[in-house]
Chains A and B, each alone.
Chain A
Amino acid sequence: MAVTPKLQTAITVSADPMVPSPYRVRRVRRETSDTFTLELESVNGERFSFAPGQFNMLYLFGVGEVPISISGDPARSDVLVHTVRAVGPVTRAICKLKRGDILGVRGPFGSGWPVAEAVGNDIIIVTGGVGLAPLRPAIYYILAHRGEYGRVALLYGARTPADMLYKKELAAWRGHFDLQIEVTVDAARPDEWRGNVGVVTTLIPRATFDPYHTTALVCGPEIMMRFTVLELQKRGLPDDQIYISMERNMKCAIGLCGHCQYGPHFICKDGPVFRFDRVRGIFGKREI
């Protein structure tokens, strides 16, 4: 039998994937005390297309570069949206950017959420903290193609009500679409919160979905994902219908620097989104 050569992604010599393109900050919105959403536009007027779940490398002149997932609407190529939490020197500097400031963008990189493969299925999205950011493009996509999916549930955990991302949007989605949204926080005061209190995994037994025809999209801290996968398995979801998004140190984002290795995988090009059965052998193993 003849072997068909694999199609190579076209790379022209001039398009060095290590060279950032300049983008201008159009708008900055404060989400929480340490998390900001930036709207960017290309200085050169380039359009930006990406798949939900992919990420960019954001470069701040002379400061450094960090991988940040794309959190905007994949249907809009005129604006690039990133939600950034200030946790290190580069992200702290990015969160201080103002309208009109310039930063460098390389990307998009990595694998996306299986929004096309999931057509016809129920969708359960389980996320915590800033893990909602890389899932927001998938939610936009699914809502734009709402008729192609069955039941859709979004289960979101945050530390406190003040730490929730996209509050207005969550409220709007809940009001306007056929979407089950459950939000839970670790602790709250009754005068500031009327929703659930508890860890996000406790919402899973209450979500409505048909385990045989459901795709689960999971993103959050690794421990949260471990227990989420356990709960989904308890509900009868097979491993090949569960997708998780992983995070590791990254320098190049193109599979060449070696930093993001996760067992045999490179998070930057084989991930960040993995079908769970492909990583279950190492998922949760110490210090892999």
Chain B
Amino acid sequence: MIGEHVIVERQDFQKLLDALRHKGYQTVGPTVREGAIVYDQIASIEDLPVGWTDEQDGGKYRLKRRNDQALFGYVVGPQSWKRFLHPPVLSLWKAKKNSKGFEILPNASEPPRYAFIGVRSCELHAIFIQDRVFTNGKFTDLHYQARRQEIFIVAVNCVQAGGTCFCVSMKTGPKVTVGFDLALTEILDGQQHYFVVEVGTEQGAQILQQVPTKKAQPTEIAGAEERVAQAARQMGRQLDTTDIKDLLYRNLEHPRWDEVAMRCLNCANCTMVCPTCFCTTVEDVTDLTGTEAERVRRWDSCFTLDFSYIHGGSVRASPKSRYRQWLTHKLASWIDQFGTSGCVGCGRCITWCPVGIDITEEVRAIRETEPSRA
């Protein structure tokens, strides 16, 4: 059954959600809130962004009505799945004073079992990248691992590209190829509205048994493929990754960093919306009586001054050095650290930058104006 394609009609889609919930999964997926499509718990199809799409460009994001009732007719919003696997705030442990000093009680709460509904190919790759960061090194992030092991992934192929997308350049999409339980391609054709569903795992196949399906015809599969291929041709942005690690390593003093620093607000938005950015800080707090303490981990950003503080001052005191750190880490040193780029081409950092700084444009500028190499 793995590798097989079946058809699920739009009116049966609710049954997929029901089957997952019945299996004990918290179903998490896209929903419209405060003018954006965000990821949150969803119980029914009505929670999905039915008939909505998003318009994106540098520093610009708008929801717009579609002229159909597509469930996944948008691209990506400000959030990513990392907020579920790598929560923005997490209690690591609590400590209590006792006669011997203090004892530490690790946070042993059972992590939720999530079913992610509507994971895009770029987002799936972002999860693979965080897998490498958190579970592939000398030390493992046990909290990430516990959440990650349990997830069920319903991926969605993109049939349209967003204005800031460049997954083709990063070789992360738009077609979902690996690491999913089920992968959907949504087809709206005249009066027809159905999903071509590819089965990725045995668990995926088991869930589908609870949902009415029929075997997909070769023409239906080909039709779905053609729609994804069309999205690949519409990419809003491009990033030339040739020799990119060395290009950036040898241009640490390029004047472009000064130029971009004039525009960058150091607001950290790009790191918050990025699906792979993983940096955190910890806060040690006590209750008012001083008998209980807690260590809380929070998302952090290399754009803050505090991030690189060592007694006396910050190592990266200038905005320029912080932007350079972010971009060179994402596209260059990430490769040395984890054997992969840290960028999946989702375009979020471009869309959600308040001044529209475009990572693809910054790399292009450095590439095109690189001081001649002796």
Residues of A within 8 A of B (CB): 8-9, 11, 13, 16-20, 22, 24, 43, 59, 61-65, 87-88, 91, 101-102, 104, 247-249, 251-252, 254-259, 261, 263-264, 266, 269, 281-282, 285-288
Contacts and interface: CB of A to CB of B under 8 A. Distances in A.
Main SS of chain B's interface residues? Answer: mixed
Contacts, number: 127
Contact of B139 (A61, A255, A264): A255
B281 A251 contact: yes
A113 B113 CA distance: 44
Given A249-B307, A255-B139, A256-B133, A64 B284 contact: yes
Nearest to A9: B138
Interface stretch (B3-11, B27-35, B92-100, B115-123): B92-100
A130 B272 CA distance: 37
B302 to A, nearest CB: 7
Nearest to B100: A43
A194 to B, nearest CB: 32
Given A249-B315, A256-B134, A65 B321 contact: no
Given A65-B284, A256-B133, A257-B300, A16 B142 contact: yes
B101 A24 contact: yes
Contacts of B104: 19-20, 22, 104
Contacts of A254: 138-139
Given A18-B93, A247-B310, A62 B293 contact: yes
Contacts of A16: 93, 106, 142
Given A257-B281, A258-B278, A11 B140 contact: yes
Given A18-B92, A62-B285, A264-B337, A249 B138 contact: no
B189 to A, nearest CB: 46
A266 B320 CA distance: 21
Given A22-B101, A256-B139, A248 B310 contact: yes
Contact of A62 (B93, B284, B315): B284
Contacts of B333: 261, 263-264
B137 A22 contact: no
Contacts of B100: 22, 43, 102
Interface in B73-105: 92-93, 95, 97, 100-104
Nearest to A59: B284
A154 to B, nearest CB: 25
A248 B315 contact: yes
B279 interface: yes
Contacts of A248: 308, 310, 315
Contacts of B106: 16, 19
B95 A87 contact: no
Interface in B247-290: 249, 252-253, 278-282, 284-286, 290
Contact of A258 (B103, B280, B315): B280
B229 interface: no
B101 A252 contact: no
Nearest to A101: B101
A97 to B, nearest CB: 11
Contacts of A269: 137-139
Contacts of B92: 18-19
Contacts of B302: 258, 261
B300 A256 contact: no
Contacts of B205: none
A252 B282 contact: yes
Given A257-B280, A288-B325, 4 more contacts: A18-B93, A62-B284, A87-B312, A249-B310
Most chain B C-beta atoms within 10 Å of own C-beta, residue among A102, A257, A259, A263? A259
Nearest to B302: A258
Given A22-B103, A104-B104, A249-B310, A261 B329 contact: yes
B318 interface: yes
B141 interface: yes
B238 to A, nearest CB: 26
B197 to A, nearest CB: 35
8 tightest A-B contacts by CB? A102-B101, A258-B279, A62-B286, A287-B321, A264-B336, A254-B139, A87-B311, A62-B293
A18 B107 CA distance: 11
Contacts of B324: 287
A236 B129 CA distance: 43
Nearest to B293: A62
A91 B92 CA distance: 22
Nearest to B104: A19
A227 to B, nearest CB: 19
A54 to B, nearest CB: 13
A251 B101 contact: no
A109 to B, nearest CB: 9
Contact of B316 (A104, A266, A287): A287
Contacts of A43: 100-101
A13 B293 CA distance: 23
Contacts of B93: 16, 18-19
B286 A287 contact: no
A78 B355 CA distance: 57
Nearest to B283: A64
A287 B319 CA distance: 10
A21 to B, nearest CB: 8
Contact of A259 (B95, B286, B307, B320): B307
Contact of A65 (B137, B252, B282, B285): B282
